[in-house]
């Protein structure tokens, strides 16, 4: 950029903006001011506000770390990266292990009753693949009740609060499980509006805390920040691993308050947090078994997993990379490793389902090692303004990169991590694909949830005639408990039970 242009630009800048431009110039990103003389006052203000909110030196470091990590991976220079199965002392299962499951459940319910747990939902996605422009949690999978994913999860929290009270002798209404919901920029307003319209599904509004996933600038292959317009930087979500930075960002970015999720957790006396994704209709929100297991093991980080169905199932698995826990993508495991057996089970069977436990202390510590975590590079076709011509270009082939961190990228930094295997049919039915796809779609989610509720009834001693479908509200039963009154009864009609008493009409 010529000195004449620099002087022309600086002539229209106040001291604060000149200092901002100098900061970007030192970082090698001052091309973002290229069109400053052409911008209106409002556009200049918009650009300055966005550039002030960016930590440009962090962007540069993140890009360099990501590029270096990718090069190291491609060149095979990571000598201590041998992939190995999970060690036995860090892995347990609830399958065919009812005594341990009951023991862990008791510990978890005590922690819930004592007010030490919270849940954190990653709900930034839209239902685009499902044919919906709404946030994914608003989606109706076709249940008889037409409840959304959000409502099912809210009602599970309500029921679990009641169970914890009853089993620990606490007064009614005294147990609270705060629910932190991470949205993306585009989904925040519609998500909040959906909850407000539905009166937070019976939860107190002050215990449902919305916050926003961060973004990172889109970059050229050489690490230069791209402009979406002459007055706006092109940005993209920073991946579900952006959760960790978002915990430290103000909960209400439009206000001047610095209160963030970490502060909120501490002020409420929360010691343990369950983190999960929105698109699993079977998710056991604030699962007392998972909490109890992780607490009993004194873990700072834990993962809930299900068994791989076949050696070739396209799913990441939790395993060891060198000395550290990691999620290993299916493409990284050789055919021999995928088929390797450990007794009568696959050695690499711990399929990742994005269902994690953390201590609050561990979440606070992430900041200390965050810059050691390498973001993942996704090369994309990114529309942008050409710095030379000022034209808005829509490239036909990848021209830049988006950087993402995954929520499991913290695993290698955990001091004491453990892994709990659960039954897939009871806890995992992802919603990924459009209706009619045949796998991981609304129809399979509906079928899996109603099949589970049929098992709840039959396990409690009821007889279900034919192919009838009874939808049991989570307010009635969280995981099959509370149904003792159905023992010996025969049910002949399909229907919805919002209370135990409502089941009588379906006999």
Residue 14 reports pLDDT greater than 60: yes
Burial of 323 (0-12, 13-18, 19+ CB in 10 A): exposed
Residue 4 reports pLDDT greater than 50: no
Q: Please, which pLDDT band fits residue 13 given cuts at 50, 70 and 90?
A: confident
| Alpha-carbon distances of 78 from 62, 71, 86, 130, rounded to whole Å | 19, 10, 20, 40
Contact 241, 213 (CB under 8 A): no
Q: In whole angstroms, what is the distance from residue 116 CA to residue 177 CA?
A: 8
Q: Please, which pLDDT band fits residue 386 given cuts at 50, 70 and 90?
A: very high
Report helix angle 98-113 to 149-167, nearest 10. Answer: 90
Q: State both tokens at 96.
A: 């065919």
Taking only the tens place, the pLDDT of each residue in 418-450 is 999 999 999 999 999 999 999 999 999 999 999
Q: Please, which pLDDT band fits residue 12 given cuts at 50, 70 and 90?
A: low
pLDDT > 90 fraction of the chain, expressed in percent and rounded: 89
Per-residue DSSP letter, 226: P
Contact 235, 216 (CB under 8 A): yes
Q: Please, which pLDDT band fits residue 258 given cuts at 50, 70 and 90?
A: confident
Taking only the tens place, the pLDDT of each residue in 288-326 is 999 999 999 999 999 999 999 999 999 999 999 999 999
pLDDT reported for residue 46: 95
pLDDT reported for residue 241: 94
Residue 9 reports pLDDT greater than 70: no
Contact 157, 119 (CB under 8 A): yes
| End-to-end Cα, the chain, rounded Å | 80
pLDDT reported for residue 411: 97
Residue 8 reports pLDDT greater than 50: no
Residue 10 reports pLDDT greater than 50: no
Q: State both tokens at 57.
A: 């030196």
Rounded mean pLDDT of 166-183? 97
Taking only the tens place, the pLDDT of each residue in 324-381 is 999 999 888 999 999 999 999 999 999 999 999 999 999 999 999 998 999 999 999 9
pLDDT reported for residue 74: 66
pTM score, two decimals?
0.92
Largest CA distance in the chain: 89
Q: Please, which pLDDT band fits residue 81 given cuts at 50, 70 and 90?
A: confident
Residue 228 reports pLDDT greater than 60: yes
Kindly report the average pLDDT of the chain as a whole number: 94
Residue 2 reports pLDDT greater than 50: no
Taking only the tens place, the pLDDT of each residue in 230-246 is 999 999 999 999 999 99
Query: What's 340-379 look like in SS3?
Result: CEECCEECCCEEEEEEEEEEHHHHHHHHHHHHHCCCEEEE
Nearest to 137 by CA among 408, 431, 457, 334: 431
pLDDT reported for residue 371: 87
pLDDT reported for residue 73: 75
């Amino acid at each position: 950029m010529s000195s004449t242009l620099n002087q022309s630009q600086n002539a229209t800048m106040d001291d604060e903006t000149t200092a901002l431009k100098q900061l970007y110039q030192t970082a090698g990103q001052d091309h973002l001011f290229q069109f400053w003389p052409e911008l209106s006052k409002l556009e200049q203000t918009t650009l300055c506000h966005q550039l002030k909110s960016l930590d440009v030196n962090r962007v540069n470091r993140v890009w360099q770390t990501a590029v270096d990590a990718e090069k190291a991976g491609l060149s095979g220079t990571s000598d201590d990266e041998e992939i190995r199965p999970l060690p036995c002392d860090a892995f347990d299962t609830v399958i065919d292990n009812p005594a341990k499951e009951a023991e862990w459940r008791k510990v978890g319910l005590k922690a819930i009753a004592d007010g030490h747990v919270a849940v954190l939902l990653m709900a930034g996605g839209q239902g685009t693949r499902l044919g919906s422009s709404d946030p994914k949690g608003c989606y109706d999978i076709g249940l008889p009740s037409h409840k959304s994913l959000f409502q099912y999860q809210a009602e599970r929290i309500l029921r679990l609060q009641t169970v914890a009270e009853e089993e620990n002798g606490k007064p009614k209404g005294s147990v609270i499980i705060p629910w932190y919901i991470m949205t993306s920029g585009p989904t925040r307003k519609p998500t909040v509006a959906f909850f407000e319209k539905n009166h937070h599904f019976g939860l107190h509004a002050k215990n449902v805390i919305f916050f926003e996933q961060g973004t990172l600038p889109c970059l050229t292959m050489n690490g230069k920040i791209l402009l979406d317009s002459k007055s706006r930087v092109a940005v993209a979500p920073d991946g579900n691993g952006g959760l960790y930075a978002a915990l430290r960002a103000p909960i209400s970015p439009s206000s001047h308050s610095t209160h963030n999720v970490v502060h909120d957790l501490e002020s409420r006396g929360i010691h343990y947090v369950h983190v999960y994704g929105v698109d699993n209709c079977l998710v056991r929100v604030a699962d007392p078994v998972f909490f109890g297991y992780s607490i009993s093991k004194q873990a700072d980080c834990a993962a809930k997993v299900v068994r791989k169905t076949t050696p070739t199932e396209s799913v990441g698995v939790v395993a060891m990379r060198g000395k550290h826990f990691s999620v290993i993508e299916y493409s990284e495991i050789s055919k021999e490793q995928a088929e390797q057996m450990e007794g009568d089970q696959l050695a690499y069977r711990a399929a990742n389902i994005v269902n994690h436990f953390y201590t609050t202390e561990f979440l606070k510590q992430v900041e200390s090692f965050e810059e050691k975590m390498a973001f993942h590079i996704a090369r994309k076709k990114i529309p942008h303004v050409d710095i030379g011509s000022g034209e808005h270009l829509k490239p036909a082939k990848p021209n830049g990169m988006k950087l993402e961190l995954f929520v499991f990228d913290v695993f290698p930094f955990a001091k004491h991590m453990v892994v709990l295997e659960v039954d897939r049919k009871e806890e995992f039915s992802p919603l990924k694909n459009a209706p009619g796809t045949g796998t991981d779609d609304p129809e399979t989610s509906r079928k899996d949830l109603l099949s589970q509720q049929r098992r709840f009834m039959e396990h409690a001693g009821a007889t279900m005639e034919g192919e009838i479908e009874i939808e049991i509200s989570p307010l009635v039963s969280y995981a099959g408990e509370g149904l003792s009154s159905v023992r010996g009864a025969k049910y002949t009609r399909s229907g919805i039970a919002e209370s135990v008493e409502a089941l009588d009409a379906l006999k």
